[in-house]
Amino acid sequence: MRLEPTLLKRVALVALLCVPFAAWAFYKPVRLLAPSLAGVSCVTNDVCTDALSRSRDAAQLYDEAIQFVEANVGRFESRPHVVFCESEACAQSFGLGRSTAKTTGPLGTVFGPRAWKPYYVRHEFIHHLQNERLGMYRLHRGPEWFIEGMAYALSEDPRTELAEPFEQYRSQFDAWFRSVGKEHMWEQARKL
């Protein structure tokens, strides 16, 4: 069966128009692009939450993490866009799954109910910085010990013992970091 050119154009247009709706429905992290459409309130250009009563806490966690990461890891090219979820329903609406928090490339970061802690926010902001400095492709091809180990180590996560393999990743990153030094960290990271 051969489609008429006009009909083919209409089918292509309908398919093109359906892509954003399909992405919104099936790839929940895309909702970070327009969080207010997903039922949260944005208290600044970069900070949104489902708990307006805790908006000051969210903004304070955000500002502290920005200052910490820029002072200790590197400067951001662009400020991260985040959603702080107090409810599990909010977290799941952004595709958090079983994670406590998740950074999805340049789309942004969602923090679940258990992630309202400074070291969790710093951890995810380090992932945001990794994405900026190394790019999504390089970041997703690993190595995992570097990606997660860096976030756990440089966020100053206070937990003395992490679940495996994360404790091993943190130890491996610490050893690598001591050998390359802070001033050469990003240059050497590009070679991994």
- pLDDT average, residue stretch 118-143: 91
Residues 32-45 pLDDT 10s:
555 566 678 889 99
Categorize the per-residue pLDDT at 130 as very low, low, confident or very high, splitting at 50, 70 and 90: very high
Ramachandran region, residue 83 (left: φ > 0; alpha: ψ -120 to 50; beta: rest): beta
How far is residue 41 from each of residues 44, 48, 87, 176, measured CA to CA in Å? Answer: 9, 5, 13, 41
- pLDDT average, residue stretch 153-181: 95
Ramachandran region, residue 105 (left: φ > 0; alpha: ψ -120 to 50; beta: rest): left
Residues 40-93 pLDDT 10s:
888 999 999 999 999 999 999 999 999 999 999 999 999 999 999 999 998 888
- At 53 the pLDDT is 94
- At 107 the pLDDT is 79
How far is residue 172 from each of residues 48, 55, 158, measured CA to CA in Å? Answer: 35, 37, 17
Helix then strand then coil, % of the chain, to nearest 5: 65, 10, 30
- At 21 the pLDDT is 41
Q: Return all residues near 91 (Cβ < 8 A) that are at least 6 apart.
A: 85, 110, 111, 112, 113
- At 59 the pLDDT is 96
Asked whether residue 13 carries a pLDDT value surpassing 80, the answer given is no
Each domain of the chain, given as residue ranges in start order, spans 30-189
User: What is the DSSP secondary structure assignment for residue 41, as one 8-state letter?
Assistant: E
Asked whether residue 173 carries a pLDDT value surpassing 50, the answer given is yes
Asked whether residue 4 carries a pLDDT value surpassing 70, the answer given is no
Asked whether residue 191 carries a pLDDT value surpassing 80, the answer given is yes
- At 35 the pLDDT is 59
For β-strands 82-84 and 101-104, DSSP reports them as unpaired
Of 109-123, 136-150, 160-174, which gets the smallest average pLDDT? Answer: 136-150
What percent of the chain stands above pLDDT 90?
A: 61
The CA distance from 176 to 119, in Å, is 21
- Residue 153 token pair: 């180590």
- Residue 138 token pair: 């390089």
The SS3 assignment for 2 reads coil
Ramachandran region, residue 68 (left: φ > 0; alpha: ψ -120 to 50; beta: rest): alpha
